A and B are shown apart, each in its own frame.
Chain A
């Protein structure tokens, strides 16, 4: 879902940013285990990064806000392994395996780990010419899909300028629905803070998003 609590840009009321001095990489050992399980299960290729994001975004808003970062990851992962038929609800309830696992195309071994510290490449060969070029004025579309999107609410139906063409990248909106390869042109689109937040905003502030071509129309 797109208009859910994860889309936080521009919201008020969360208070000041609290910085922890000398923050450890993980605060509790289980956080590292959750991150590692997430990486390891991602390696199976059953879902992409956007499928993972989608399962966090569809947590109930109150749950999302109450949970810590790695608790959210845990809840999202648990939901995903059940949704993909890898683990039964009864097994989650029992806290142990009740039947053999499904055969997976690949699982992560110790030898594969060095490869997982490098992020995947999301660029794909272009299937069509880019519609926009640097300097073009564009308006972001006013879309409100109930499925996953990476166009934040605060930047919808806003006038901006294409600053850079970033190449063709896997399109999150369709990747989350299972099409892991469909790609669209990606642009850095910059807006003035006044366009986003109104005349009272600071004239010296600009905000950019990374916008996929289907999010944009000529202006």
Chain B
């Protein structure tokens, strides 16, 4: 791998300092904390939630402080009737700008192969048990549209601030392989 970087650098195609900055951005700027802020805002602000469901790219960018979102982010609202689950069966498409780089399991053959044919089995492996009458909707990311699941706000958080709520929002809850933390799972 290092040899390829040496060749590309010597030939003037890449600048190692620019590569350093890309790695740094991946490690520090992008990550699920960005998505969590979006979800928490949607939980406390009905107008924002409406905008998010209409045009998630614009809504996410309106928060300003998160890494800018490029084209076509789509928010999927979980309800008591429907649970959304996101996969990319063909490669590893994932909403990097709001969730960071995808975890290894998301890019793995077991997840990519089974999410579309055995979603309940996959959810069980993540410890997610839904009421038996819940409809499960799988979104296969086969184009440049990207999906962010808007999980349901946990009960018992009615008087919580947006900042505290964001602590309940896990990466997996925004992919659909998890649920938000319960209020007693975070320190008050």
Contacts and interface: CB of A to CB of B under 8 A. Distances in A.
Interface in B12-66: 12-15, 17-23, 25-27, 29-31
Given A36-B22, A107-B13, 20 more contacts: A8-B90, A9-B140, A17-B125, A18-B108, A19-B125, A25-B26, A95-B7, A97-B10, A109-B15, A117-B30, A117-B68, A117-B97, A118-B68, A152-B89, A169-B144, A202-B120, A205-B119, A205-B135, A208-B137, A210-B142
A212 B144 CA distance: 11
28 contacts: A6-B91, A7-B90, A8-B90, A11-B109, A17-B122, A17-B126, A25-B101, A33-B1, A33-B5, A40-B8, A81-B8, A97-B10, A101-B10, A101-B11, A107-B13, A107-B15, A110-B18, A117-B67, A118-B67, A119-B96, A119-B146, A122-B144, A152-B90, A196-B117, A205-B135, A206-B136, A207-B140, A208-B140
Contact of A118 (B70, B120, B122): B70
Nearest to B87: A9
Contacts of B10: 96-97, 101
Interface in A67-116: 69, 74, 77-78, 81, 86-87, 91-92, 95-97, 100-102, 104, 107-110, 112-114, 116
B23 A26 contact: yes
B145 A210 contact: yes
Contacts of A65: 109
A100 B9 CA distance: 11
A210 B143 contact: yes
B110 A18 contact: yes
B18 A40 contact: yes
Contacts, number: 258
Interface residues on B, range: 35 or more
Interface in A141-155: 150-152, 154-155
A196 B116 contact: yes
Which of A25, A152, A210 counts the most B-chain CB atoms under 10 A from its CB? A210
A23 B140 contact: no
B152 interface: no
B105 A87 contact: no
Interface in A191-213: 193, 196-197, 201-202, 204-212
A123 B110 contact: no
Interface string A157-176: 00000000011011010000
Contacts of A78: 4
A210 B12 CA distance: 38
A30 B1 contact: yes
B113 interface: yes
